[in-house]
A and B are shown apart, each in its own frame.
Chain A
């Protein structure tokens, strides 16, 4: 009887540990997925209008992390900020968004617009070239060492020690900020695209560029706006990511590829799809690291990409392309 009781208690303890592990991995996936969703949105916005895969987008994200870091230092750093913590976080995010928006406009103007009427391969190669140019320029200017926001030093570690618990799993403030901010931005984007004039113009251009032009929509303006929006979101994603994880100049390539994978999973060109894809990818990565192997998670992510491209190229929420023959 005692043995049975002990076995039951051990089983319950093991069960509780398993539940805690699952909860923590889900939280990891949600945090990561929120960042991937913001990056995927940038891919979807540009692809939806231009049918162009902007492979420099991951490096725009990286530049966002650096702008956030630089702004943080200007505002006193994490040990001695000159503004309250909440204001500091808003300011570094806005700075990253603004800086990345400008970068996005420059990339569109100089790397893609001249190739708009060229064969599709040309802007793709240009995108790859821009990606490497940005990454290695940043490395040359700022070095290859990690840049750590050191958010642990902010307000005596409040972002880590404050929060709430789900069972035995802590949900610290820093994760709440990351997840909530990402969702708020996605909702604001959805409202902008569905409820505003410029959003309507973007949807029209995405549906049929020539027809939209004939209806009097300024296509160049719409395209630039798409780059501004997408790049600003990448900048915001950069800050949200770097609040918890140090950044470096070549981080953008792999994270950009994962953001692209999220966009494909969700349905490239679809905004709700980008959110869905980001979350699916975040959870897949977290659960693979937790239950299979940490060495296999990147492999698994790209296997998912290949499987979607082979069997469901339109993604979870995208629409299959119908071509008139």
Chain B
């Protein structure tokens, strides 16, 4: 083994996470283990968003020399399933701890068959190295399970490897023989053998830079869902490798407002030609849209039937469908703010209200008849515009318990419920 590889081993860490969950009408804490890789001498650690998210309340990093040190979340990006932590450097200094850091390689130069290693903490087994090859250097994967309910995977293709990737490997590096990080081990296929997936370093480097700079990645959204043309070119009278199918347009989105609809062919974005013949080409197109400035006009060149013309859409900020969550423990009610994306998906009139994500059996919300998926629109006839409104209502209830009227929408049906002390 080269010295680069030994240095890499000294840069891989185990991450112990304690996070809060609001699911069943109460605040609950859960512990989990993942892996990470130290990227800099000032203690930046890269891992998966499904290991460390904004729900994490306690992060502990175990260095290669088995010393344990606390860390804080710098930022996370569920769309690419990446998160960045910073080790508590004051503590490192005080305890005179030592660690190495790893360098990125270029995932764009990988070839199928190239030998790679995954390093991490599968099932809590620290400093485990597994070996395999790159099975596919540009694999397209539909969003599998999301990152704890958050969307993921639209903006990148994947490195597929047969190096064993097990739970706990998540967030650990996938490296070449010289110890260069070319990917972040992220997923395995349940029930399959040797089908592991890693986020390519080209994606990771971009996200790391953004998270260091802003603490978050800002992307643009226009509501256009691209689809691969595959062999529909003849039907649309297109030359091969021209344009991408507009598979769907999200209702109420900028693209819908501009007048586009499913079945249109998108030829260019601001004059830049797009090609979406195969599914592997779609993340690149999504990324091109996402990397436009928010609130800026974008010229879409679209072919419909025999006509080709330009449409202007104004980009919005990309938002997750998952809004802010909270547990109202007196009522045994867990809620999530309705996001614009969720409202569009469920064809709601607007993004007011909170959706019930869980109730605790025997508590007032459950007794009254509220259930998962219900949308709380009003409390005591006051619109619930934010989580703060419902928090305040519960505080009032706590101070002076009294029957409280809930207006709830369930699959377009509006019902009234009383939550009683």
Do the two chains bind? no
